[in-house]
């Protein structure tokens, strides 16, 4: 007999629904909250069964993801979607605990506000800019948009000061106070492709304390050119005097020369170097 047909008088016992669900952070795009969760809600409010709470969380994870994705569109690229979802889950858990069945409010409406609030609270806690500074920046942006729509162009500082009801000087101070420095992570990728081959911003930051490679090579070439005519003894005197910091007397003791003789040789070296430098300058000018 085909499986689709039942024998007369036969009965089929309904299978007991399993409460075991996948990880709530792994959300499928096709998941939707069940249309009727009232029995689960009533049983959970009476028993506070953790399994029932997890079931309610899993049923509303798609809502958490949608709210997180909408907020992510207005946030910097450094914010990760998974972080927003994690914070939203805490808001969902608080909403489940505080939801009152007798008030007759849909849970989706109630928890949406709690989820969004939990995410925004966490973002504010990580924001290093004081709230007053953000408020001042919002006032300037609001006045700017009003004047831009009114005149069809960018407003002047005088017009902005009038719109905000303050002097030009006070408006200038307000601009400074509302424009804090932005902090960027040097570990972020330079381009939008987040793969292993992408360069980090740290690799492209200029090190102003380091020497310019081109300038270093030019100086090295000039040094080799002007010291080419010096003897080995003269080069030793230059190294010991300028690089090792020895005195004329100490150099004389090492080279078995008198101090006055070392001074004389040093003067001759300086004269030779000046002549060579003058020749190089004339060539560069030509």
What's the CATH code of the domain at 274? 1.10.10
Report yes or no on 191 lying in a domain: no
CATH of residue 155's domain is: 1.20.140.160
Whether residues 106 and 135 fall in one domain: no
**Which of 75, 104, 125 is the C-terminal boundary of a domain?**
125
pTM value is 0.41
Residue 173 sits in the same domain as residue 248? no
Q: Which residue positions in the chain have pLDDT lower than 50? A: 1-35
Which pLDDT score, from 0 to 100, does residue 87 have? 92
Same domain, 135 and 101: no
Burial of 76 (0-12, 13-18, 19+ CB in 10 A): exposed
The last residue of one of the domains, among 88, 105, 125, is 125
Model pLDDT, residue 93: 92
CATH of residue 77's domain is 1.10.1740.10
pLDDT in tens, 160-177: 888 888 888 888 888 877
Q: Could you tell me if residue 197 is inside a domain? A: no
What is the domain count for the chain? 3
Residues 161 and 85 in one domain: no
Structure confidence at residue 135 (pLDDT): 74
Give the per-residue pLDDT at 62.
Answer: 93
Whether 82 and 120 map to the same domain: the answer is: yes
Q: Encoding tokens for residue 5?
A: 């047909």
Domain that residue 174 falls in: 131-184
Q: Is residue 279 part of a domain?
A: yes
118 and 144, same structural domain? Answer: no
216 belongs to a structural domain: no
| pLDDT tens, residue by residue, 106-149 | 888 889 989 999 998 888 777 656 666 667 777 888 888 888 88
Residue 254 within any structural domain of the chain = yes
Domain co-membership, 136 together with 173:
yes
Residue 29 within any structural domain of the chain = no
Sequence-ordered alpha helix ranges (H) in the chain: 38-47, 50-59, 61-72, 81-98, 107-125, 131-151, 157-164, 168-177, 213-226, 232-238, 248-255, 259-285
Task: List all residues 6 or more positions away from 6 whose beta carbon is below 8 Å from its beta carbon.
Answer: 12
Q: Please check whether residue 18 lies inside any domain of the structure.
A: no
Cα(119)–Cα(127) distance, rounded to whole angstroms?
13
Looking up tokens 């200029």 gives: 206
Contacts of 128 (CB under 8 A, 6+ apart): 183
Same domain assignment for residues 101 and 141: no
- Rounded to whole angstroms, the Cα distance separating 6 from 9 reads 8
Which of 125, 147, 168 finishes a domain? 125
């Amino acid at each position: 007999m085909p499986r689709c047909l039942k024998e007369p008088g036969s009965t089929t016992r309904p299978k007991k629904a399993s409460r075991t669900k996948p990880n709530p952070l792994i959300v499928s795009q096709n998941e939707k909250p069940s249309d009727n969760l009232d029995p689960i809600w009533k049983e959970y409010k009476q028993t506070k069964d953790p399994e029932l709470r997890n079931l309610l969380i899993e049923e509303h994870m798609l809502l958490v993801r949608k709210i997180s994705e909408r907020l992510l569109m207005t946030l910097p690229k450094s914010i990760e979607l998974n972080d927003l979802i994690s914070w939203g889950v805490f808001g969902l858990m608080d909403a489940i605990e505080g939801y009152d069945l007798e008030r007759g409010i849909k849970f989706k409406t109630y928890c949406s506000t709690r989820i969004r609030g939990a995410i925004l609270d966490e973002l504010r806690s990580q924001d290093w800019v004081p709230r007053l500074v953000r408020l001042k920046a919002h006032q300037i942006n609001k006045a700017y948009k009003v004047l831009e729509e009114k005149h069809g162009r960018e407003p002047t500082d005088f017009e902005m000061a009038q719109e905000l009801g303050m002097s030009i000087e006070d408006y200038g101070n307000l601009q400074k106070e509302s424009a804090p420095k932005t902090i960027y992570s040097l570990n972020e990728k330079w381009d939008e492709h987040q793969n292993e081959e992408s360069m980090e911003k740290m690799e492209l930051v200029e090190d102003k304390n380091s020497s310019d490679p081109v300038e270093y090579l030019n100086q090295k070439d000039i040094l080799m050119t002007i010291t080419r005519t010096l003897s080995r003894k003269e080069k030793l005197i230059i190294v010991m005097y300028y690089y090792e910091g020895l005195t004329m007397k100490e150099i004389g003791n090492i080279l078995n020369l008198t101090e006055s003789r070392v001074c004389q040789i040093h003067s001759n070296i300086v004269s030779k170097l000046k002549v060579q430098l003058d020749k190089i300058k004339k060539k560069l000018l030509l």
